[in-house]
Structure 1
Amino acid sequence: MSLEENESKTIFFRITTQRKKDWKTICKAKNISLTSLIINSVENRMLDDERRKVLEFIEKQDNVFTKIETNINQVAKIVNTQKFISNKELDNFSEKLSEIIILKQSQNRIFENIYALLAK
């Protein structure tokens, strides 16, 4: 790749004053630059603010599952200490674990789609 290919160039184009004002309002609300708005829109890529929201979502999801895993460990510790768990409690616990597995699989599919979008 030559040095010239990496050089930034200026492009001038005409839009109405109102449209520019509207675009700047969008940029301010999304906390992104006008250049980012135009380039990402033209290239059909995810906007920077959307990317930040997705990453925050992923982080929150991870925190939720960390709390669930902590609760599972607490139940296991209680059972190990008492050396007993009733059939009803075991069935309930197993049901919850099955739900978690389904949710985790669903989350992973969503993450795969998100990562594909982020890669654009």
Structure 2
Amino acid sequence: MINEKRDYIKIRISNIQKENWKKICLDKGISLTSLIVNSVENRMMDDERKHVLEFIEKQDNIFSKIETNINQVAKIVNTQKFISSQELNDFSEKLSEISELKKVQNRIFENIYALLAK
């Protein structure tokens, strides 16, 4: 293996720093090695990568539901040539939800691009 991990680096830090770093790792669900290496190399942390993937999966599921609802509204309107105020409100809420998700998605992608650019 080319990137086989066989070497060690010893550093001296205070017990307080060590405990703080271990707490950060516990909170993030990552290893101390991952925290240090990714921080030094300015790479995305494993927990951040996990959050991005979870967000994308959640977004995909929500967009599928919204798409289904939009198609149902279109079918009703095309059949009845009418849409009730409740259905219109539901439709508007789904569009607002899409707008909010897109804003979050764009912020996440901006962060990813910034990390990749370094």
Q: TM-score, normalised by structure 1?
A: 0.67
Counterpart of 1:27 in structure 2: which amino acid? C
Match of 2:82 among 80, 85, 103: 85
Q: Give the direction of change, closer, same or farther, for the CA distance of 1:75–1:54 in structure 2 (3 Å limit).
A: same
**Residues 52 and 64 (structure 1), Cα distance of their counterparts in 2 relative to 1, 3 Å cut:** same
Q: List runs of 5+ in structure 2 lacking aligned partners.
A: none
Identity %: 50
**Aligned: 1:116 with 2:113:** yes
1:18 positional shift: 2.3
User: Which blocks of at least 5 consecutive residues in structure 1 are unaligned?
Assistant: none
The whole-number CA distance in structure 2 between the counterparts of 1:42 and 1:30 is 17
Question: Which residue does the alignment assign to 2:61?
Answer: 63
Q: Is the 2:38–2:44 contact (alpha carbons within 8 Å) kept by the matching residues of 1?
A: yes
Q: Note closer, same or farther for the CA distance 1:46–1:7 as it changes in structure 2 (3 Å cut).
A: closer
- The alpha-carbon deviation at position 8 of structure 1 amounts to 3.8
Give distance in 1, aligned partners of 2:101 and 2:27: 33
CA distance in 2 between partners of 1:67 and 1:4 (Å): 45
Q: Which residue of 2 aligns with 1:32?
A: 30
Q: Following TM superposition, by how much is the alpha carbon of 1:75 offset from its aligned partner in structure 2, in angstroms?
A: 1.2
- Give the alignment's Cα RMSD to 1 decimal: 3.5
Q: Which has the higher contact order (CA 8 A, sep 6+)?
A: 1
Alpha-carbon spacing, 1:101–1:63, altered in 2? closer, same or farther (3 Å)? closer
Question: Which whole-Å CA distance do the structure 2 matches of 1:81 and 1:102 have between them?
Answer: 28
Q: Secondary structure at the match of 1:9?
A: coil
Structure with bigger gyration radius: 1
